[in-house]
Structure 1
């Protein structure tokens, strides 16, 4: 059994602490327009015994753009010092938003969060967007070859305070987590949103801006599906 593998130091405290390492969704971004906040579960299916002085980490990142949502999570051992839960917006609304939850603890399987409640409480306090501009942008969060294929990209009106079209390719990596995806939506400016957040907990982040161009087709009739967009990947 797992408990029998816990070694102790002379003073009787654990030298190797078991931590939850289960991931949902299996080391990749979980994205959908139908992610149900209240029923989303972070399943704890595995555990690992950490090295001496390592703690148990859990980090969640919630991305929202239009009516699309994406969740990335990491659980596992961490060499970082213990710190209480930290919940904040890395990129706050209006427009697309990125929120994170993270903590490191050092008791038996203490990284046992199974839901999005800390991020839901943060979201509930955020101001609601009520005024929209006539400007619109393509909106999507997901893999280029799946959720963000042209047929699945929607065009949404932008809030007055987020009038620019943003598009980037994001990569999140930590342990078994290794995911790369496209993020598009309305933002305050088309610039790197996570430039000051290369690390979220143990998750390393890279952000490459893409070029968003509105298609200009000479003599084309107006489309009932809205404007056509071209995304040039960086």
Structure 2
């Protein structure tokens, strides 16, 4: 049976009243598979695009020996309509690169590619040649001493390069080793963009001092009793000159805590670890941790909420009762009201839009505050690479369409360690 890609929540979008927004299939995926596992299938969810935007499908398959690199982007686009197109950027012998692109506006969910089948047909085994090369595809880096394999007839050179993939919800690097019929660093035959995904190639593996960073994103709502939370990040090789960054935001409302985590590369200047109390109750509280470093590989080594979270004693109850909710999907009508702590005087009901650092999500927040207004973050608009905008006009978020990411969660699960 073909593998099925399971989906994880990525974001919530809210169309404006009266706007005829197009509904599109939505998600991103990137990973390395064995050729024997193809064709792959996935089950996307949906997103409501801004007026005038179209739907797009972009699929790239890169084959080296027994492995296939898989890159998928589905969602909204400003690009003009384009008929389904299969492009053979390189077709062997040795390494091969194929892509599928499509842009449409004629109906909802027109970007309906759900399998690699249109782009992939098994090839008969190639006759062996006399060249032997390391053969590897990896999002994390090929180990030293990768096993060499016999190259197919017609290949004359070993290829060793790094593809940087950026755009269309994709932010990853793919290390490529394999066999080619000519020398040089031109795996994509001059192609620099496939759909919304920009691709740059680097074969100077010794001359570029690239920093390795811990990498991943996480956005989830937990019960306070489940903290501290731990995670196991993956790794990424950053462009020359970039640093590593950790950004963690915890928002507490009653018995719930929202966790927003971004780890990866950054252009920002180095900064020491910093814990900021944006709001510290009574009632709702917002804490953040930020760190930028370049002094060694994997220096952004935050792997737990522990430095940012210490259990607080129960607060004395007051007389106010408010709905209390934290949700990435929306708080249901008639959320149960809870007794607010002493010192709070108003009920808060707002939406935080979180964008940047690999985060694209909305967080609905309800809880208790000691003053009126829509200023949960006390004026903060950015925490690390994550931009935050606040909206307390509840009429603007009565309708939502949920989208998701096709990629395997960059934070290997389960991330909770009791």
Match of 2:239 in 1: 51
Q: Which runs of 5+ in 1 are unaligned?
A: 212-230
1:57-78 deviation line (CA, Å, top 9, x unaligned)? 0110011101111100000111
1:139-189 deviation line (CA, Å, top 9, x unaligned)? 0011244xx2236x3311112322210111001122321110200100122
Other structure's SS at 1:70 match: strand
Aligned-residue Cα RMSD (Å) equals 2.5
2:370 to 184, 188, 211: 188
The answer as to 2:287 corresponding to 1:104 is no
Give 1:102 deviation, angstroms. 1.0
Give 1:88 deviation, angstroms. 2.2
Match of 1:174 in 2: 356
Compute the TM-score of the two structures, normalised by the length of structure 2: 0.44
The aligned length equals 198
The answer on whether the counterparts of 1:167 and 1:190 sit within 8 Å (CA) in structure 2 is no
Give 1:193 deviation, angstroms. 1.8
1:136 to 321, 332, 342: 321
In 2, Cα distance between the equivalents of 1:172 and 1:105?
Answer: 23
Match of 1:21 in 2: 215
The answer on whether the counterparts of 2:254 and 2:367 sit within 8 Å (CA) in structure 1 is yes
In 2, Cα distance between the equivalents of 1:112 and 1:161?
Answer: 37
In 1, Cα distance between the equivalents of 2:382 and 2:341?
Answer: 29
The answer on whether the counterparts of 1:7 and 1:16 sit within 8 Å (CA) in structure 2 is no
The answer as to 2:214 corresponding to 1:32 is no
In 1, Cα distance between the equivalents of 2:250 and 2:347?
Answer: 20
In 2, Cα distance between the equivalents of 1:34 and 1:131?
Answer: 18
In 2, Cα distance between the equivalents of 1:138 and 1:41?
Answer: 29
1:72-96 deviation line (CA, Å, top 9, x unaligned)? 0000111111111101211112101
In 1, Cα distance between the equivalents of 2:356 and 2:345?
Answer: 33
Other structure's SS at 2:324 match: strand
Give 1:16 deviation, angstroms. 1.6
Match of 1:201 in 2: 384
In 2, Cα distance between the equivalents of 1:58 and 1:101?
Answer: 7
In 2, Cα distance between the equivalents of 1:66 and 1:166?
Answer: 12
Compute the TM-score of the two structures, normalised by the length of structure 1: 0.75
Q: Which runs of 5+ in 2 are unaligned?
A: 1-140, 145-161, 163-203, 399-418
The answer on whether the counterparts of 2:217 and 2:263 sit within 8 Å (CA) in structure 1 is yes
Give 1:33 deviation, angstroms. 2.9
1:182-211 deviation line (CA, Å, top 9, x unaligned)? 001001223212252111011111111135
In 2, Cα distance between the equivalents of 1:143 and 1:89?
Answer: 22
Give 1:2 deviation, angstroms. 5.5
Larger Rg: 2
Match of 1:217 in 2: none
Match of 1:158 in 2: 340
Structure with higher strand content? 2
